[in-house]
Amino acid sequence: MGSTIGVPGIILLVILALLLFGPNKLPELGRAVGRTFREFKNGTREILAEDETPAKKKEEAPQQAVAPSKSEDKRLPE
């Protein structure tokens, strides 16, 4: 189940790719796969950065006293 492909498997995949796409299309296909991985990596970094940013701001920001707004200032008579 958890076995690796190994060298013979990789050679077989390269030969199969050459037969399916031809030698002229393989560099273009490799570039497209590389761009896809790079965009995925950058996207996951952005998502992780967005998740970490609010938590850090809450921890680092000193708590400030907030003046009550006008609607909160008006209290109902007792």
Q: Is the pLDDT reported for residue 66 higher than 70?
A: no
Is 46 within 8 Å of 39 (Cβ atoms)?
A: no
Reported as a single tens digit per residue, the pLDDT across 39-62 is: 999 999 999 888 876 655 555 555
pTM equals 0.46
Q: Are 26 and 17 in contact (CB under 8 A)?
A: yes
Give pLDDT tens digits for 15-44. 998 899 888 888 898 899 999 999 999 999
